[in-house]
Structure 1
Amino acid sequence: MTLRLTAPILAAGLLLAGMAHAQDTLYFSAIPDEDETRLAERFGAVAEYLSEELDVPVQFVPVKSYPAAVTAFRNDQVQLAWFGGLSGVQARLVVPGARAIAQGDEDTSFVSYFIAHTDAGLERSDDFPEAARGLSFTFGAKTSTSGRLMPEFAIRENTGEAPEEFFDRVGFSGDHSQTLRLVASGAWQVGALNFTVYDQAVADGAPEVETAKVIWQTPPYPDYNWTIRGDVDDRWGEGFADRVQAALIGMDDPDLLAAFPRNAFIAATNDDYAPIEEVGRQLDLLE
């Protein structure tokens, strides 16, 4: 009798354990490249979409800085993240098996804008703005690909000088939206930011674009990406990472895509970001 009861009880216990395991929440985060309110709006809707597509609970976890996003990923506090090019490389270097699985269609050829306050008297040109020499300049976040890494690389490549040598004063705003506000206010004369943030501000009719004008754009480079930990299949079942990739690539809701903003998501691999890793090492931004 005992043996007959034990088997069903054991089977039921294993079933419940399996259900609990299958229902583990998938946590994801994103680099805080814009205002926190806008990020919450963007990624709350994405969490709902992924939860429906994957049939597991999905929750967005906000972080306060780019390094905090990488740390959360490394510590398994989040298993999926929307990174910039550099932060994605950083995360994959510290989490064995982590891989880039998707990127925006625009992220294969991303650019940064250099913007200047209208009082600086700089005009838009295809050539690097040598006339900005001696002005004040702000990057975005210190480990931002489009707000620091590639703009600094461009400055060094075009001038043969470090930003601190070319400009009179150099700072870090923290995010792209803040860069736009600070240059528009005249607090900084020149700045570099993500082109999609500026273009969205133009589309929204933001007042900042009246006094902060684009004067130059960098050559293209690979940037943002969705990166997933290498151990998610162990938790949610074989092929789960591929299912997440398929869900992201299949995201075709115009409102969801416009929130990024991206036209579509396409497949990505770690190799796509080799140029970013190379530049990161050149500028001593990777361990």
Structure 2
Amino acid sequence: MKKLLKLAAVAGLLFSAAGALADTFVFTAIPDEDETRLQQRFDKVAAYLQGELGVDVKFIPVKSYAAAITAFRNDQVQLAWFGGLSGVQARRLVPDSQAIAQGYEDQFFKSYIIANTSAGLTAGKELSDALKGKTFTFGAKGSTSGRLMPEFYLRERFNAAPEAVFERVGFSDDHSRTIAQVQSGAYQVGAVNYTVWENELAAGNIDPAKIHVIWETPTYPDYQWTIRGDADKRFGAGFTDKVRNALLNMKDKDLLASFPRESFVPATNADYLPVEKTAQSIGLLD
């Protein structure tokens, strides 16, 4: 009898823990910058959302873009701050999932091609033939601004895959690391998210004597908040709208500066069709 009571108590604790977890709204973000910074900025967002939504909210970090997509697919997270490509990939895996908000700036995002000054490359309106034979690093393999769009324009300019243009091609895994690798000379050239570049420049982490921007892409849609299609079923009717409204009504300058974004504006899946078509054209999507 004592054993049965103990088992019942343990089962009750497990049930309570599971219930508590089930009632927690969990979100993540692609790891496009230093992990410590991400934790600091999204813990603040979790506190804000918890106050707005009236449910427990938790941020969990992930180690890679692929891990963010997997967590979303497996319902380990119900909301994610994705890049353009990772958002498209995630929504393909979870029926009825929606892009619900994007940064004001994400309507016209862009990437920079950056170079170590020792490479002897100068800034211009076109990608120069002088890029051929240099060493080049992208960001993460699943990054819209650090891989997808820069690769698209490189292929368009040189009519060849990056591996055929450059002496060596690498993937740094995040934008801050791309900048560090090009600045150190580990790679001569790289592709980077323009907002991370501007942040690092403002923070004094970029030495203009060692590294500079040589080209920028045309604009394209990028980062967005995507929510699972079953969020209303799990958290109650109208929950998706509550989350959308909470994001659109985020006015605290400190919270917005941590992204950094001027504000959040409505987004839909259709906004990211250009990203999806580009990914398909270079073989990153079926």
In 2, the alpha carbon distance for the partners of 1:22 and 1:119 equals 53
1:208 CA drift (Å): 4.3
Shift of the alpha carbon at 1:282? 1.3
Q: Is the 8 A contact 1:22 1:56 kept in 2?
A: no
Tell me the CA shift for residue 130 of structure 1. 2.3
Number of the residue aligned with 2:103: 104
CA displacement at 1:209 relative to structure 2: 4.5
Secondary structure of 2:42 counterpart: helix
Cross-structure match for 1:184: 183
Quote the residue 2:64 is aligned against: 65
CA RMSD after TM alignment: 1.5
Find the counterpart in structure 2 of residue 116 from structure 1: 115
- CA offset at residue 236 of structure 1? 1.4
State the AA in 2 paired with 1:82: W
The answer to whether residue 254 in structure 2 is matched with residue 233 in structure 1 is no
What are the equivalent positions in structure 2 for 1:49-88 lying under 5 Å apart?
49-88=48-87
Specify every segment of 5 or more residues in structure 2 that has no aligned partner in the other structure, as ranges.
1-15
Q: Which amino acid aligns with 2:141?
A: K
Report the 3-state secondary structure (helix = DSSP H, G, I; strand = E; otherwise coil) of the residue aligned with 2:187: coil
Residue 90 (structure 1) aligned with residue 56 (structure 2): no
3-state SS in 2 of match to 1:44: helix
Flag the 1:198–1:237 CA change in 2: closer, same or farther, 3 A.
same
Listed as ranges, the gaps of 5+ residues in structure 1 are 1-16
Per the alignment, residue 5 of structure 2 pairs with none
SS of equivalent to 1:216: strand
Residue 286 of structure 1 deviates from its aligned partner by 1.8
Superposed counterparts of 1:254-273, under 5 Å: 254-273=253-272
| Contact 1:27-1:61 within 8 A present in 2 as well | yes
In structure 2, the CA distance between the partners of 1:208 and 1:41, relative to structure 1 (3 Å rule), is farther
Q: Secondary structure at the match of 2:164?
A: helix
The question of 1:149 aligning with 2:148 is answered yes
Shift of 1:23: 8.0
TM-score between the two structures when normalised by the length of structure 1: 0.91
User: Structure 1 counterpart of 2:277, which letter?
Assistant: E
- Following superposition, the deviation at residue 207 of structure 1 comes to 3.7
Q: Match for 2:59: what amino acid?
A: F
Q: CA deviation at 1:244?
A: 0.3
CA distance in 1, matches of 2:74, 2:32: 21
Rounded to whole Å, the distance in 2 between the matches of 1:209 and 1:52 is 42
Output the CA distance in 2 between the equivalents of 1:222 and 1:107. 5
**Does the CA-based 8 Å contact 1:228-1:241 persist in structure 2?**
yes
Q: Which residue is equivalent to 1:215?
A: 214
Query: Is 2:196 the partner of 1:200?
Result: no
Tell me which amino acid in the other structure corresponds to 1:146.
S
Q: 1:140 aligned to 2:143?
A: no
Code of the aligned partner of 2:246: A
Letter in 2 for 1:75: N
Cα distance in 2 for residues equivalent to 1:23 and 1:127: 52
Amino acid in structure 2 at the alignment position of 1:111: K
Query: What letter matches 2:61 in structure 1?
Result: P
* 1:81 shift after superposition: 0.1
What secondary structure is seen at the aligned counterpart in 2 of 1:69? helix
Distance change (3 Å), C-alpha of 1:270 and 1:124? same
1:114 match: secondary structure: strand
Matched residue of 1:262: which SS? coil
Query: What is the identity percentage for the equivalent residue pairs of Structure 1 and Structure 2?
Result: 59
Structure 1 partner of 2:10:
none
| 1:210 Cα offset (Å) | 4.0
Aligned residues: 269
CA distance in structure 2 between the partners assigned to 1:181 and 1:163 by the alignment? 21
Kept after mapping to 2: 8 A contact 1:138/1:179: yes
Q: One-letter code of the match for 2:264? A: F
2:241, 2:121 → 1: CA distance?
48
In 2, the alpha carbon distance for the partners of 1:131 and 1:246 equals 48
Q: What displacement does 1:21 show?
A: 8.2
Give 1:117's aligned amino acid.
Answer: N
Note the C-alpha offset of 1:69.
0.3
Cα distance in structure 1, aligned partners of 2:80 and 2:198: 24
Q: Deviations over 1:46-73 (max 9, x none)?
A: 0000000111111001000000000000
CA distance in 2, matches of 1:273, 1:46: 24
CA distance in structure 1 between the partners assigned to 2:73 and 2:31 by the alignment: 17
In structure 1, distance between residues paired with 2:52 and 2:211: 41
